[in-house]
Structure 1
């Protein structure tokens, strides 16, 4: 009687990944096999994954709007739902526009915008040194700055930014513990924690944004559905018009705030309705 055939490398990987609770075990197994340079490296990557390290940190990259974005350990992993934010930005960005990716993390949003819109003059900034090092691998390194929000950006950008992407942290501090372990244990807290109600960083961005946006320029950010009303109020207090775009399929809520094109229109109108 012939011996039973040994399980294939893929099936062995799938079994281990499934046992660890990986929902997309087959896809993950294929990615691990493709990324590993040797059986020893594959075994090491598998162990890190089954012990909870995000797949993107294990293989070193994340897929985002058709791009392969380098993602280093500890850096926020770009979410697929945030592709909706980029889609809204692309629709508003003319060729050659000046754009800023604030709280840029890996730089995924800026990279996706630059890939979709010809000639974008892109700048990026983040407070986290690890994120800045990672973003400099995905974006022109000389235009990625380390520091708090707008502070490190070149001052000559003031009043010239046509598109401001701000992927601000918006998880309320008290809800950090409810996040999946991949996020709360392996991503920088500064990329997740938005303060008591999740909107602390957004309020700071909204307050400063009018001084950086060009007339008619746009600020776009993602927020939680329950936070939308307060997020819209924050940008309107800064004199920006606001509307909301949603994508039920991706559970994404995006606020699009616009600096009025003329000073006459700068003050928010009483009772102005939020459009969806």
Structure 2
């Protein structure tokens, strides 16, 4: 790495407001050189998220290919992956709804290579990105709204259902960092008036897909967790709330009691 180039790049990134300028400079220099590097730097200093600029993100131990316009997986969501991976049984069927890039499914598959993995998203751009990530590891990606495109043969057989659904209240979108607000599709973060619109839909559909003893996991805001747990309990699932202070993450896990649905 040329020290002069690196130092100059760090200075440009700092001037643009990049908090982790040193780390970003290293990643940009690894991604490109010459004219292509300059094009990437110009995109970054203009405010485009680094993950879009370099085309990938490290998430929960895997490198996830990422295209512009696809939701960027947050590091706090690795907590959901950890919780999900801990309850995946041998030979499990795992489904990732609102999959975006497929990051959750890919991370779980990396820890449990024998799982049958399905993912789904409404956005064709996200579906194309998820296929790039999941098809090489044997995953199948479907295009459609929530569970609508899932094969009927999966009904009542899903051991672990993960869904990183949008949960930001509509009125709070304007308060989000510009990188997200200006570059990620609004429907990937906007959860409606109280942020739980999609959580309610997820809770309503989960029982018909879960196997006896199967679990659905969803991330929420800390102040939404009790209400979200109540939504899952109202759907007949046994709900529990998990917090991780270090990652600033909150996850609701809801389990289908054996024999309750079918």
Match of 1:21 among 17, 22, 36: 17
Which residues of 2 match residues 146-225 of structure 1 at below 5 A? 146-225=143-222
Structure 2 segments unaligned to the other structure (5+ residues): none
Q: Secondary structure at the match of 1:140?
A: helix
The 1:12–1:240 alpha-carbon spacing in structure 2 relative to 1, beyond 3 Å, is same
Q: Would you say the 8 A contact 1:247–1:253 is kept in 2?
A: yes
- 1:89 maps to 84
Does residue 119 in structure 1 map to residue 114 in structure 2?
yes
- 1:34 maps to 30
- TM-score, with structure 2 as normaliser: 0.96
Match of 2:129 among 126, 129, 134: 134
Match of 1:55 among 50, 56, 63: 50
- The CA deviation at 1:229 is 1.1
Does residue 244 in structure 1 map to residue 241 in structure 2?
yes
Structure 1 segments unaligned to the other structure (5+ residues): 1-5, 267-276
Q: Secondary structure at the match of 2:24?
A: helix
CA-to-aligned-CA distance 1:40-63 (integer Å, 9 cap, x gap): 011110010011000000000000
- The CA deviation at 1:7 is 6.9
Answer with 1 or 2: which has the greater Rg. 1
Q: Distance in 1 between matches of 2:140 and 2:63?
A: 20
- 1:3 maps to none
Aligned-residue RMSD, C-alpha: 1.3
- The CA deviation at 1:14 is 0.1
Q: Secondary structure at the match of 1:132?
A: helix
- 1:234 maps to 231
Stretches of 4+ aligned residues off by more than 4 angstroms: none
The 1:7–1:162 alpha-carbon spacing in structure 2 relative to 1, beyond 3 Å, is closer
- 2:255 maps to 258
Q: Distance in 2 between matches of 1:138 and 1:101?
A: 13
Q: Distance in 1 between matches of 2:61 and 2:213?
A: 29
- TM-score, with structure 1 as normaliser: 0.91
Q: Secondary structure at the match of 1:217?
A: strand
- 2:95 maps to 100
Does residue 72 in structure 1 map to residue 83 in structure 2?
no
Q: Secondary structure at the match of 1:93?
A: coil
Aligned positions, number: 258
